[in-house]
Structure 1
Amino acid sequence: MLNPRTHSKEHADSYYAATRAYAIEYPELEGQHDTDICVIGGGFSGVNTALELAERGFKITLIEAYRIGWGASGRNGGQLIRGIGHGLEQFRNQIGDEGINNIHQMGFEAVEIVKERVKKYDIQCDLKMGYCDLANKPRHMREFEEELEWLDKMGYPYESRLLQKDEMQQVVGSDFYIGGLTDMGSGHVHPLNLVTGEAAAAANLGVTIFEQSPVTDIEYAHERNSDQHKISTKKGYVTANQLVICGNAYVAGLDKELEGTVLPAGSYVIATEPLSEEIANKVLPQDMAVCDQRVDLDYYRLSADRRLLFGGLCTYSGRDPKSIIDALRPNMDRVFPYLKDVKIDFQWGGMIGIGANRFPQVGRLHPSVYYAQAYSGHGVNATHMAAKIIAEAINDETNRINDYDKIKHMRFPGGRHFRSPMLAVGMLYHRFKDLF
C-alpha cells in the first residue's frame, strides 16, 4: 500500500515543501522540441547534469514526470556526507588502484561541488557544515579509528575527531551511543531548496524545463536509424543528439536494463514542532547532522527553525507504513526520552534507489546515452559528482566516467514485482547479523 502522504503528483507533504524558497512551476511538455541533449529526471542528478552542460554552452531540455525535486532529492534527510558508495575495496580488481584512489578523491570533491554551487548561485538552502557518525558497538569504534587514520593518510583538510563515550554529550544529548567520529567537511542542507534553487539557476542559463510530463517512450537513435533519440510524453516529444537518464528509484518503464539493476526502497522522516533554544542545544549542541551505524539506522539533524528532523526505517517490501509517525516516533523517543511530549508536525517518505553492490551506477548505456542512479541513500553529494563527470564526458574534458563505467552491476533476478520481496529477505538477514 502506498501512503498518499508520499505519493501524489505534487511534492510530498513535508517540512521541506512547507518551507520552499523556490516555488517555481514549469510547463508541461507539449508539441515537438529539438535539443542538443535531453535529460530525463528533475532530481539532483538530472538538474545538475543540465546545469553543468548549460554552463558549457549546450542547448538542454530537462523532462520531469512530476515536480523538480519530487523524488528522493526533495525528501531526503538533508545529510551532505563525503564519500561515494560503500566498500570500494570490492571493486579493486575491476578498476585497479588508480580507479579506487580516483573515486576516493571524488568523494571529497563531491561535497565541494555542492558548496561551490550554493555560493556561485546564491542558493538559499540552509547549508551548514558539521557531521558525526555515531557508534553503537565497539566494532564501530574500531572502524572509526581506521577511518580517521585513513583520512590523515589521504590529507583530508577538514577537522575530524574521534569521540569517546564520555565526550558524546558534546555532540548528541543522549546516552544511547558509545562514541563517534566528527567530520567538519560534511554537513547538512535543505535538499528541496537546494535542488529547486539549482533548477532556477539552470533555467536562467537557458535550460528548458518541463514538469508534469512523464516519459511514455524512448526510441534510441540506433533503433530509429537516426542520429537523434526521440523521447515522447503524453502531449509531445523531444528529439536530441544525446540523452541522459536520471530516473533512479523511479526508472521503471524507461529502460529495462537500467530498471533491472536498481530497486526502490522506502525511507521516512518525521519533523517535530520547533524546539526551544535550550532543548535544541541539548539535543544537538553543535547543530551537526548525525547518523548511527546499524543496518536499520537512525539519522537526524536540526532544521534552521530548530525542528528535529528524524529519519530512518528503510523498507524493502514496496509498502509504506500506515502511520509514519507511529513507525518512527518510538525510535526517536528511545534516543531522546525527554522529547516524548514534543509534537510531531510533519511525516513523509519516498523511494530511494538501491543497487546490489550499494555503489552508484553511472555510465554509458549506448554511445550517446548516459545514466546515473542507485545512490543507496547517500546521494546528496554523489549525484552532484555524477552530473559533473557525465558533463565532462559529453564535453570531451575527462574520462573520469570510465572509473564508474567499468564497475559491474548485478541485475536483480525476477520481474518488477518480485525483486523487492527478494531484497527484503536479504536485508532481514543483515538485520539479524547486526542484532547479534
Structure 2
Amino acid sequence: MPNSVALPSDLHPASYYAATRLPHPYYRALQGHLEVDVCIVGAGFSGLNTAIELAERGLSVAVLEARTIGWGASGRNGGQLIRGVGHEVEQFEPLLGHEGVRQLKQMGLEAVDIVRQRIETHRLDCDLTWGYCDLANTPRQFEAFADEITELRGLGYRHALELVTPAQLPQVVGSNRYAGGLVDMGSGHLHPLNLAQGEAALASRLGVELFERSPVTGIDHGPKVKVRTAQGSVEAGTLVLACNAYLNDLNPELGGKILPAGSYIIATEPLGESVARQVSPRNLAMCDQRVTVDYFRLTADRRLLFGGACHYSGRDPKDIARYMRPKMLKVFPQLERARIDYQWAGMIGIGANRLPQIGRLAEHPNVFYAQAYAGHGLNATHLAGRLLGQAITGQVGGGFELFARVPHITFPGGKHLRSPLLALGMLWHRLKELI
C-alpha cells in the first residue's frame, strides 16, 4: 500500500511539471517475494494503463518502477494529446491491406477517447484543456489540410475541425511564421505528470501493487517469469516490458529496435494575460509540420511551454535554455524579454518505421511489450494499455494482432552507432524538406 507522505521533489528530474505536480503518495520499494498473474516493468503511461486494464478484468498485477511514477517521458513530455498513432501509416498497406490501415487510423482517434474517458470517469486533476492546431509551414502543407479533414470525416470523427487561412491565423497564433492551420477540438493538452500520478492512484485503488525505486536486475524466463530486483522478486505467468526509451539492456532484442532520442522543452515565466492572449488567443496546443518539429502551448498558469528540436546524435546541449530560446523567438519574437524559468530534457523512443511497437516476444510468448511512440506517446500509450489488456486476457480482434503483424527492424551498428546513423538519415529528410 502507498505511504501517505509525498515524495521529495528531487526524485523527479527538474521541470515545470515536477515543480507544479499535485501532492501524491509514494510507493515502497519491493522487498521479498511476490506472486501475481502479471508483472509489469515500467510505471509510465504504458505500464500504468496496462495495469489498470488488467486489474479491471480481474487479474492480480505488480508494477516495478526503477525510479518513481512518471519519471521518464510520461512525466516530462509536451503534454499534447493529439489524434493519430504512427506516422504515414499508408506505408503499411502492402502488409495490412486498405482495411488494416483504416483500422490503424481509427485506433489513433479512439486512443484520445481512452484518455478522455479515463480522466472524466475518475475525475483525474491534470489541467485537461481541449483544442489543438496543426500549423502549416508551407502553402502545400496547408492545402493538404483540406484532404485531412475529408479523411477524418470519412473515419467518423465527430469533433469540430476548422481550416484557418493565413489571414485568420492571428486569431489562433501570435506569429507570422505559418501558412495556415487546422484546428481540431477533439485534441488538446494537459499536465502529464499529474495524469500519471492520478492513474497510479487509480491503479492502486483497483488492487495493483506498485513498487518504486525497484530497478530490475534480471529476468528468468519460463512458463512462469521471475523478475528480480536488488531486494526482492516477482513471479508471474505474464510479463509486460513497458520501459520505452529507458529499456537499457533489459532486453537486447527489443532495445535494438528502438532509438532513444533527446527532446527538449523550456517554459517561460508566467505571461501577462494580454501577452498570453496575443501568443495563443484560443489557448490551443500547437505543432508545426517540419521534421524537426516545434510544439508549444500555454500552461494553466499562462507560461509558454515550447519544445522540440529532437536530437538523434546522442549528445544533449549543455544549456537547454540557450539552445531552445532562439527557436522560440523565431516563432514569438515578442517574447524577447520573457524570462525562462524551467528547462529540461528527456528521451523519447523512436522506431525505424515510426509506428508504435506493440506485441509479444516470439521466443517467450508470455512476454508482451509496448514501446517506440515517436513523440506521440500520450495517447498511443493509453491505446497500448488497452490492446495489451485485451490480448493478455484472451480477447481477440481488439487491434493487438494488427500491430503485432508489423515487423520492426533492428537498427544497424549496435547501440553505439545507431544514433549517428539515424542522425544522418534525419538530415537527409531535412534537406528534402528544404528543397
TM-score higher than 0.5: yes
The one-letter code of the counterpart of 2:35 is D
Instruction: Decide whether the 8 Å contact of 1:9 with 1:212 is kept in 2.
Output: no
Q: What is the deviation of 1:17?
A: 0.4
Secondary structure at the aligned position of 1:124 is classed as coil
- Name the structure 1 match of 2:370: 372
Amino acid at match of 1:97: H
Q: Aligned in 2, Cα 1:22/1:44: closer, same or farther, shift over 3 Å? A: farther
Q: Which residue of 2 aligns with 1:190?
A: 191
Q: Which aligned pairs between 1:6-405 and structure 2 lie closer than 5 A?
A: 10-221=11-222, 227-365=223-361, 366-399=364-397, 400-405=399-404
Distance 1:39 1:391 in 2: 12
Give CA deviations for 1:7-56 in whole Å, capped at 9, x if unaligned: x9821100000111143211111211111100011110001000111111
Alignment of 1:418-429 (within 5 A): 418-429=417-428
Question: Take 1:157 and 1:258, find their aligned partners in 2: how far apart are those partners?
Answer: 37
TM-score, normalized by length of structure 2? Answer: 0.96
Q: Does 1:407 align with 2:418?
A: no
Separation (CA, whole Å) in 2 of partners of 1:348 and 1:89: 34
C-alpha separation in 1, matches of 2:144 and 2:211: 45
Tell me the SS of whatever aligns to 2:423.
helix
Secondary structure of the residue aligned to 1:252 is coil
**What are the ranges of 5 or more consecutive residues in structure 1 without an aligned counterpart?**
1-7, 222-226
Write the distance in 1 (CA, Å) between the matches of 2:240 and 2:10.
23
Task: Tell me the residue number matched to 1:5.
Answer: none
Paired-residue identity, %: 55
Q: How many angstroms does 1:163 deviate by?
A: 1.1
Between the aligned partners of 2:152 and 2:100, the Cα distance in structure 1 is 18
Per-residue CA deviation, residues 375-415 of structure 1 (Å, 9 max, x unaligned), is 00011001000100110111122332100000011110111
The 8 Å contact of residues 355 and 374 in structure 1, kept in 2 or not, is answered as yes
Q: Identify which range, 57-66 or 413-422, moves more after superposition.
A: 413-422
Name the structure 1 match of 2:3: none
How many residue pairs are counted as aligned between the two chains? Answer: 424
Query: 1:295-315 deviations in whole A, cap 9, x for unaligned?
Result: 111100000010100001100
Alpha-carbon distance between aligned partners in 2 of 1:177 and 1:49, rounded to the nearest angstrom = 39
8 Å CA contact retained: 1:301, 1:309: yes
Aligned residue identity for 1:124: D
The code of the aligned residue for 2:317 comes to P
Question: Structure 1 residue 267: deviation in Å?
Answer: 0.3
Letter in 1 for 2:411: F
TM-score (norm 1): 0.95
- Secondary structure of the residue aligned to 2:193 is helix
Give the letter for the 2:187 counterpart.
S
Q: Which amino acid aligns with 2:280?
A: L
CA distance in 1, matches of 2:392, 2:310: 35
Question: 1:338, 1:416 → 2: CA distance?
Answer: 42
- Shift of the 9–211 alpha-carbon distance from structure 1 to 2, 3 Å rule, reads farther
